[in-house]
Amino acid sequence: MAVVSAGGLLAALAPNLPVLLLSRVLQGVMVGALPLSFILVRRHLPQQARRWRSVWSWHCSPAAAWWGRRSPGPISEGLSWHWMFALPTIVIVAATLVPDPADAA
């Protein structure tokens, strides 16, 4: 998540296209990390914790995909194209820092 967040921050601050492309490569690390995360969750977490995470993955992924296709236009028109990268990075950092309710149980 640190590499993806760094890529998002770099993309939000990119002064030119080569820097933007480099930042998108860093963000692409998540493409490989997503299947790995499913394997790690299944292998290392107890059944109850796996149920909680599967609910999030099955319900949040389609919503995020839907929102991700429809939000860049209004965001770039209303703010600037830099915010298309800054807003998701803020969400990623916040989601990483928020404690998981399943861990408290």
pLDDT 10s digits, 39-57: 777 777 677 666 666 555 6
Cα separation, 71 vs 78, in Å, equals 11
Please check whether residue 85 is in contact with residue 11, taking contact to mean a CB–CB distance below 8 angstroms.
Answer: yes
Split into its structural domains, the chain has a count of 1
Summarised one tens digit per residue, pLDDT across range 50-105 is 666 655 565 666 777 777 777 777 877 788 788 878 887 888 788 778 776 666 65
Query: Which phi and psi angles does 71 have, rounded to 5°?
Result: -90, -30
**pLDDT tops 90 at residue 26:** no
Residue type, 65: A
Predicted TM-score (pTM) of this structure: 0.61
Domain assignment of residue 34, given as a range: 2-104
Cα separation, 93 vs 79, in Å, equals 21
| Predicted pLDDT of residue 62 | 74
